[in-house]
Chain A
Amino acid sequence: MNTDSITLSRRAVHVAIGALLCVGTALTPVLAATPKDTLVLAFAFDDIITMDPAEAFEISAGEIMGNAYDRLIRFDVKDPSRLYGDVAKSWTVSPDGKTFSFEIKPGLKFASGNPLTAEDVAFSLQRAVLLDKTPAFILTQFGLSKANVRDMVKATGALTLTLETDKAYATTFVLNCLTANVASVVDKKLLLSKEQGSDMGYAWLKTNYAGSGPLKIREWRANEILTLERNEQYHGDKSKLVRVIYRHVKEAATQRLLLEKGDIDIARNLSPQDLTALASNADIKTTSTPKGTLFYFSMNMKNPNLAKPEVREALKYLVDYAAIGDTLMKNIGVVHQNFLPMGLLGASTVNPYKLDVDKAKSLLAKAGLANGFKVTMDVRTVQPVQGIAEAVQQTAKRAGIEIEILPGDGKQTLTKYRARTHDMYIGQWGADYWDPHTNADTFVRNPDNADDAKSKPLTWRNAWAIPELTKKADAAVLERDPVKRRALYDAMQAEFRKTSPFVMLFQQTEVAAYRSNVDGLKLGPTSDSTYLFGVSKR
Chain B
Amino acid sequence: MLAALKATGRFVLVLALTYLGLLAVTFFIGRVIPVDPVLAIVGDRAPEHVVARVREELGLNKPLYEQFGIYIQKVAHGDFGTSVLTANPVLQDIARTFPATLELATLGILIGVLVGVPLGVWAAVRRGGLVDQVVRVMGLIGYSVPIFWLGLMALVLFYARLGWVSGPGRIDVVYQYTLQPVTGLLLVDAALGGEWEAFRNALSHLILPASLLGYFSLAYISRMTRSFMLNELSQEYVVAARAKGLSETRIIWRHALRNAMVPLVTVIALSYAGLLEGSVLTETVFAWPGLGLYLTNSLQNADMNAVLGATIVVGSVFIGLNLVSDLLYQLMDPRTRAR
Given A207-B87, A251-B285, A257-B159: A9 and B122 within 8 A (CB)? yes
Instruction: Kindly state the separation between the CA atoms of A38 and B173 in the bound complex, as whole angstroms.
Output: 9
CB pair B248 A5 closer than 8 Å: yes
Would you call B31 an interface residue if the criterion is a C-beta within 8 Å of the partner chain's C-beta atoms? Answer: no
Q: Are A133 and B50 in contact (CB under 8 A)?
A: yes
B179 at the interface (CB under 8 A from A): no
B42 at the A interface (CB under 8 A): yes
Q: Are B39 and A4 in contact (CB under 8 A)?
A: no
What does the 1/0 interface line of A3-22 toward B look like (CB < 8 Å)?
A: 01100110010001000000
Would you give 7 A-B contacts (Cβ < 8 Å), ordered by A? A26-B200, A28-B165, A29-B201, A224-B289, A247-B169, A248-B289, A454-B49
Q: How far is the CB of B195 from chain A (nearest CB, A)?
A: 15
Q: Which residues of A contact B118 (CB under 8 A)?
A: 12
Q: State A16–B165 Cα separation when bound (angstroms).
A: 19
**Contacting pair B168 A258 (CB below 8 A):** yes
Residues of B close to A50: CB separation below 8 A: 87
B205 and chain A: residue at smallest CB distance: A29
Shortest beta-carbon distance, A199 to chain B, in Å?
Answer: 13
User: Which chain B residues lie closer than 8 Å to A29 at the CB level?
Assistant: 163, 165-166, 201, 204
**A206 within 8 Å of B (CB atoms):** yes
- Which residues of A are in contact with B by a Cβ distance under 8 Å? 1-2, 4-5, 8-9, 12, 16, 23-24, 26-29, 31-32, 34-35, 38, 40, 42, 46, 49-51, 57-58, 132-137, 206-207, 221-225, 227, 245, 247-251, 253-254, 257-258, 260-261, 263, 409-412, 414-416, 418, 432, 453-456
Per CB-CB distance, the 10 closest pairs between chain A and chain B, nearest first, are A222-B86, A224-B289, A134-B46, A27-B204, A206-B87, A249-B287, A415-B36, A29-B166, A411-B35, A134-B42
With both chains docked as a complex, state the minimum distance between the C-beta of A120 and any C-beta of chain B, in angstroms: 24
Chain A residues, CB < 8 A from B122 = 9
Query: At the interface, yes or no: B293 with Cβ under 8 Å from chain A?
Result: yes
Given A27-B207, A58-B43, A247-B287, 17 further pairs, Cβ under 8 A: A4-B248, A29-B163, A34-B173, A46-B297, A49-B40, A134-B43, A221-B96, A222-B83, A245-B173, A249-B168, A249-B169, A254-B168, A257-B159, A257-B160, A410-B300, A412-B34, A453-B48
What A residues does B257 contact at CB under 8 A? none
B120 CB to closest chain A CB (Å) equals 13
Of B87, B172, B176, the contact of A222 (CB 8 Å cutoff)? B87
A222-B173 CB under 8 A given contacts A8-B249, A257-B160? no
Given known pairs A2-B248, A32-B174, A249-B168, the reply for A260 and B88 (CB within 8 Å) is no
Residue of A nearest to B39 (CB): A411
**Does B164 sit at the interface, judged by CB under 8 A?**
yes
Q: Is B236 an interface residue (CB 8 A)?
A: no
A27 adjacent to B297 (CB under 8 Å) = no
